[in-house]
Each structure stands twice: as C-alpha cells, then as structure tokens.
C-alpha cells in the first residue's frame, strides 16, 4: 500500500498506475479511490499515469478528528501532487471530488495543472439560498446527516439506489454495483462522513471556479438525483472561463452502464486533446 503523511500527521492512501502524463482522480462522498478503478485502468492503458487517493476519513486513509473540511481536502491533494512531484496534471473530480478540485485550484492555482474534469460535481453551491434558488433545501442535507448518524449501513444501501438511478422505470439494477457502493461507504469513519456532508453541501465554490484558467470539461447527467444539474454543471460551465459542457441525457449521478461508457470516451478524448 502506498501512503504519505500530510503536514498535520494524517496518512493518505493513494494508488499510482502506469506512466506518462499524470491524471489525478478525486472521488465522491462517501466512497474512496476504488470508485475510479475503471477510469484509472482506461487512462493507464492509454499512456497516462493514473493516481487516485482516498480522502482523509475515507477508505484506507487516516481518520483524524480534525481537518474534515474542504480547505484541508484541497491541501491534502496539493501535498499528494507535491509528494509525487507531478506537473502538467489533469485533475478529475466526481461529486465532492469536483469540489475538492475546484478548491485546490482556488487555493493553489494551476502551476502544476494543465486541464480539469468536473463530473457530477457539487460546485458552485448545492445548498438552496435566496441567491441560489435552484439549490437543494437544507432539510435534505439534515436528512443525510440523520441517516448517517442513526443507521449508516442501511442509509448507504438505500442511497445507492438513487445514486445509480436504479429507482427509475426501466433501469437495470446491478446488486453488485450497489454492494460495492455500500462496501466503500462503510469504510468511511463516522466523524469524517458526518463532517463531509456540510462541506459538499454548504461550501460556495464560486470564487474557486473563477480562478480556473485551464481547459475544463464539465460533465453531468441530466437525471442526477444527488447533485441536480441546474444548480451545478449548468452554472459551473458559465463561471469557468474555458469550459466545455457535456450533458448526458437520462444519466444518474454514479458512473454506470452506458453512461460510464460515454463518459469514458469523452474523458479519453479530452485528456488526449
């Protein structure tokens, strides 16, 4: 297992496959780097170096009491990139990981970054406010916290259904995909999982997006029940200077089936371009 220790003493697990130009993946909540295995293998087989870490509190990384907030997530990503001495990096973030990528650029700039991919990403702001009426009401996030606190095992199992759109008419459900989601989710420490809800839902990334000055692929399913597209990708694509918006009709939040195949093709085209 590959790990490095951050400046605040937290061990961060990462996977490092292949060689070539680095593509660094940031995962969604409440998963870990394994959620990117298909895309890591894809890019590594096509001449790139694939790196994915488990966010602090998640997966095989340390579970500290402190530091479970977006600024620290971004700083951990920066320390990973610096530890491996990566440059000309393509950053890829899904969901909360997309927020991590945006905040990384907001805090650390693009000196080491060549491109970015935001997939089903939470920026600019998930929470419904007077200035963001398209957002999700706070009651929904309170419900997530209550579910994690009361019976996280059952909550994660139930969440997997909407995450992959299996609750839609005609959807072909994979129990295996749902079991994998549950397994990854159960590896998150309760403290880190609970704290992260506030981070992905209430963090305003508007200023971070304005600092992105590299080509950016903004990809989102228009039937995303977890991060609805109206408050996310449609706004992000307007805020990022050099953004290309890709909308997948009928696609859910999680990469699955034909949606995953379509995104993989777009990802490969974008990182090769």
Which residues carry out catalysis?
95, 224, 253
Three-class SS of residue 119?
A: strand
**How many alpha carbons fall within 13 Å on the CB side of residue 12?**
29
The total of other beta-carbon atoms located within 10 Å of residue 17's CB is 16
CA neighbor of 55 nearest in space, from 184, 211, 181: 184
What does the radius of gyration of the chain's CA atoms come to, in whole angstroms?
A: 17
Q: Is 181 exposed, middle or buried (0-12, 13-18, 19+ CB in 10 A)?
A: buried
Q: Are 17 and 38 in contact (CB under 8 A)?
A: no
- DSSP secondary structure code for residue 7 in this structure: T
CA 210 from centre of chain: 19
Q: Are 69 and 194 in contact (CB under 8 A)?
A: no
């Amino acid at each position: 297992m590959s790990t490095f220790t951050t400046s605040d003493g937290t061990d961060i697990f990462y996977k490092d496959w292949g060689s070539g130009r680095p593509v660094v993946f940031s995962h969604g909540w409440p998963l870990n780097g394994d959620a990117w295995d298909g895309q890591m293998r894809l890019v590594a087989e096509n001449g790139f170096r694939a790196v994915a870490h488990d966010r602090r509190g998640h997966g095989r990384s340390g579970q500290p009491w402190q530091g479970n907030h977006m600024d620290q997530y971004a700083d951990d990503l920066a320390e990973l990139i610096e530890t491996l001495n990566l440059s000309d990096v393509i950053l890829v973030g899904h969901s909360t990981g997309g927020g991590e990528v945006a905040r990384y650029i907001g805090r650390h700039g693009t000196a080491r970054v060549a491109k970015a991919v935001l997939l089903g990403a939470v920026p600019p702001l998930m929470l419904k406010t007077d200035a963001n009426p398209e957002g999700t009401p706070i009651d929904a996030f309170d419900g997530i916290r209550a579910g994690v606190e009361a019976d996280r095992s059952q909550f994660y199992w139930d969440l997997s259904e909407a995450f992959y759109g299996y609750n839609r008419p005609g959807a072909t459900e994979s129990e295996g995909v749902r079991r994998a989601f549950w397994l990854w989710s159960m590896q998150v420490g309760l403290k880190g999982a609970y704290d992260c809800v506030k981070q992905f839902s209430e963090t305003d990334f508007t200023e971070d997006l304005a600092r992105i000055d590299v080509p950016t692929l903004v990809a989102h399913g228009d039937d995303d029940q977890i991060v609805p597209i109206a408050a996310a990708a449609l706004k992000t694509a307007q805020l990022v200077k050099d953004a290309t918006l890709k909308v997948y009709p009928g696609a859910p939040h999680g990469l699955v089936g034909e949606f995953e195949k379509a995104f993989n093709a777009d990802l490969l085209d974008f990182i090769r371009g």
